[in-house]
């Protein structure tokens, strides 16, 4: 009986453990409670919101979409669907929690604590707060439409019950609020950075959050000399869709994917051939400038005259030199004395 009781207890415990494990795997990404204590130093700052909009339009839109709905250009290629930032589940989180998530990341979402400053991360948080105002969630829009329809029907029924005979029923007017909301939402760009061909601008706004040229590894590898490691045709494919190469089993793509902890590089299918060429040209030019600067520094250093440092001697070597000098003088003195004595003896004999 005791054995059956213990066995049932163990089975129950295993079931609960497995249930909690499966729940944690399926549950949403939750920031630690300590993140809620982080205070937003830029709350209500219009300049911070503007900066956040710029950063969002340069970095975040590729996954979260221009409206933050989670339908960005790269969303389809990701293993996890990006969050709808206008949803209540996101908006009810504290500023500190959003800041923590932007900082730490959660694959396939990248970590930005190294590539973005604290001020920039808070700016993104502040712009995320503005997204529901610019692009209301579908449920909110539907509720407003229902309310507007109800109000229009009530106005029609009120006019129909008026004492005036022969009056035609008035047509329902569209809600002014809903019209203003739709009009305030800017049109979505089908191709971000369309018409922009400046390689430096494109690199800083698309690649700069994850890569450097000559300043070491950031989120992704340092791109200095990348064209010596990979051909341009391969780089073009990698930039457009790195995961396509990984799934196709390309050895170099798989190696890089594993080396960087399976962090998914964003797809850039929206870039034209000319834009990619200009980005690669800018990277190559920056790499050459770094090499040229390094050579100049080396040449300048090599031309600098080398001043000999005074040689340091030990006490033993100094004593040895002293005895050598003393011995040399003793020998000279002895030779002179002997020669003097001999000369005297010779003179006496004569």
Q: Do the Cβ atoms of 224 and 233 come closer than 8 Å?
A: no
3-state helix, strand, coil in the chain (%, to 5): 60, 0, 35
Q: At what angle do helices 118-134 and 46-55 cross, to 10 degrees?
A: 90
User: pLDDT digit string (tens) for 252-267?
Assistant: 999 999 988 887 787 8
Q: Tell me, what's the pLDDT at 147?
A: 59
Percent of the chain predicted with pLDDT > 70: 71
List of E strands, 77-209: none
User: pLDDT digit string (tens) for 47-79?
Assistant: 999 999 988 887 888 789 889 999 887 777 777
Q: Tell me, what's the pLDDT at 75?
A: 79
- Which is nearest to 141 in space by CA: 174, 182, 188, 93? 182
Mean pLDDT, residues 339-346 taken together: 83
125: its two tokens: 């948080």
pLDDT of 119 higher than 90: yes
Residue 206's pLDDT band, with cuts at 50, 70 and 90, is: confident
Q: Tell me, what's the pLDDT at 181?
A: 38
Which phi and psi (to 5°) does residue 22 adopt? -65, -30
Q: Tell me, what's the pLDDT at 153?
A: 59
Residue 148's pLDDT band, with cuts at 50, 70 and 90, is: low
Percent of the chain predicted with pLDDT > 90: 34
Angle of CA points 48, 54, 60, to nearest 5°:
110
Q: At what angle do helices 273-303 and 232-240 cross, to 10 degrees?
A: 120
Q: Tell me, what's the pLDDT at 189?
A: 45
Q: Tell me, what's the pLDDT at 74?
A: 73
List the helix and strand counts (H, then E) for the chain: 15, 0
Q: Tell me, what's the pLDDT at 48?
A: 94
List of E strands, 75-178: none
Which phi and psi (to 5°) does residue 109 adopt? -70, 135
| b/e code 324-339 from CB counts within 10 Å (16+ = b) | eeeeeeeeeeeeeeee
User: pLDDT digit string (tens) for 222-276?
Assistant: 999 999 999 999 999 999 999 899 999 999 999 999 988 887 787 888 889 999 9
Question: At a CB cut-off of 8 Å and minimum separation 6, what does 60 contact?
Answer: 68, 72, 124
pLDDT of 176 higher than 50: no
- The answer to whether the bond into 108 is cis (omega within 30° of 0) is yes
Mean pLDDT, residues 185-190 taken together: 42
Q: At what angle do helices 176-184 and 138-160 cross, to 10 degrees?
A: 150
Higher per-residue confidence, 110 vs 31: 31
| Whole-number average pLDDT of the chain | 77
Q: Do the Cβ atoms of 100 and 28 come closer than 8 Å?
A: no
Between 30-39, 183-192, 319-328, the lowest mean confidence (pLDDT) is in 183-192
102: its two tokens: 């932007």
Q: Do the Cβ atoms of 239 and 271 come closer than 8 Å?
A: yes
Instruction: Tell the burial category of 199 from Cβ atoms under 10 Å away from its Cβ (0-12, 13-18, 19+).
Output: buried
Q: Do the Cβ atoms of 244 and 234 come closer than 8 Å?
A: no
Between 30-44, 105-119, 163-177, 234-248, the lowest mean confidence (pLDDT) is in 163-177
List 106's β-bridge partners, or say none. Answer: 109
Question: At a CB cut-off of 8 Å and minimum separation 6, what does 174 contact?
Answer: 148, 152
pLDDT of 220 higher than 90: no
Higher per-residue confidence, 348 vs 234: 234
Mean pLDDT, residues 180-196 taken together: 52
Higher per-residue confidence, 9 vs 222: 222
| b/e code 35-62 from CB counts within 10 Å (16+ = b) | beebebebeeeeebbebbbebbebbbbb
Residue 183's pLDDT band, with cuts at 50, 70 and 90, is: very low
Question: At a CB cut-off of 8 Å and minimum separation 6, what does 294 contact?
Answer: none
Q: Tell me, what's the pLDDT at 299?
A: 72
């Amino acid at each position: 009986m005791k054995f059956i009781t213990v066995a049932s207890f163990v089975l129950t415990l295993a079931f609960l453990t497995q249930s909690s494990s499966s729940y944690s795997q399926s549950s949403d990404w939750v920031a630690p409670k300590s993140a809620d204590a982080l205070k937003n130093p830029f709350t209500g700052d219009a300049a911070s919101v503007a900066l956040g909009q710029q950063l969002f339009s340069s970095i975040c839109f590729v996954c979260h979409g221009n409206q933050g709905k989670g339908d960005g250009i790269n969303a389809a290629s990701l293993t996890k669907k990006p969050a709808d930032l206008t949803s209540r589940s996101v908006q009810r989180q504290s500023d500190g929690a959003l800041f923590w998530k932007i900082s730490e990341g959660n694959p396939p979402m990248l970590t930005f604590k190294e590539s973005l400053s604290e001020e920039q991360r808070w700016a993104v948080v502040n712009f995320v707060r503005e997204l529901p105002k610019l692009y209301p969630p579908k449920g909110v829009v539907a509720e407003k439409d229902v309310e507007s329809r109800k109000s229009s029907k009530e106005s029609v029924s009120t006019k129909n019950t008026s004492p005036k005979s022969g009056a035609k029923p008035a047509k329902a007017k569209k809600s002014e609020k809903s019209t203003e909301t739709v009009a305030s939402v800017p049109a979505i760009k089908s191709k971000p950075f369309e018409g922009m061909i400046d390689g430096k601008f494109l690199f800083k706004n698309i690649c700069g959050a994850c890569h450097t040229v000559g300043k070491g590894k950031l989120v992704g590898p340092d791109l200095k000399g990348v064209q010596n490691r990979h051909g341009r045709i391969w780089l073009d494919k990698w930039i457009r869709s790195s995961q396509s190469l990984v799934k196709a089993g390309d050895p170099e793509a798989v190696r890089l994917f594993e080396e960087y902890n399976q962090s998914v590089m964003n797809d850039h299918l929206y870039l034209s051939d000319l834009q990619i060429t200009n980005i690669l040209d800018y990277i190559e030019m920056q790499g050459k400038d770094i090499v040229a600067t390094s050579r100049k520094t080396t040449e300048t250093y090599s031309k600098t005259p080398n001043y000999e440092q005074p040689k340091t001697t030990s006490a033993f070597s100094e004593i040895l030199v002293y005895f050598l000098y003393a011995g040399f003088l003793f020998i000279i003195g002895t030779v002179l004395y002997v020669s003097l004595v001999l000369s005297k003896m010779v003179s006496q004999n004569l």
